[in-house]
Amino acid sequence: MKTFVVIGLGRFGSAVAMELSSLGHEVLALDDSEENVQKVADKVTHAVTGDARDPAVLRALGVRNYDCAVVAVGVDVGTSALITLNLKELGVRRVICKAQSHVHRKVLEKIGADRVVFPEHEMGVKLAQGLSSSNVLNFIELSDDVGIVETTIPKEWQGKNLMELDVRARYKVNIIAVRKKGEEAFNVTPGPSTIMEAGDTVVALGRTEDVNSLQDL
Give the residue from 160, 130, 146, 161 showing the smallest Cα distance to 211.
146
21-25, 135-139, 172-176, 209-213: least confidently modelled range: 135-139
Fold classified for 121-216? Alpha-Beta Plaits (3.30.70)
Degrees, nearest 5: CA angle 171-177-132: 55
Domain boundaries, the chain: 3-117, 121-216
Q: What is the DSSP string of 133-164?
A: -TTEEEEEE-SSSEEEEEEEPPGGGTT-BHHH
CB-hemisphere CA count at 13 Å for 95? 27
pTM: 0.62
For the domain spanning 3-117, the CATH number is 3.40.50.720
pLDDT at 129: 54
pLDDT at 64: 94
Q: Is the pLDDT of residue 11 over 80?
A: yes
Q: Compare 134 and 76 and report the one with higher pLDDT.
A: 76
5-9, 25-29, 199-203: least confidently modelled range: 199-203
Q: Are 9 and 34 in contact (CB under 8 A)?
A: no
62 φ/ψ sector (left φ>0, alpha ψ -120 to 50, else beta): left
pLDDT, mean of residues 143-155: 79
pLDDT band at 97 (very low <50, low <70, confident <90, very high): very high
Helix (H, G, I), strand (E, B) or coil at 5: strand
pLDDT at 132: 52
In the chain, % of residues over pLDDT 90: 53
Q: Is the pLDDT of residue 33 over 70?
A: yes
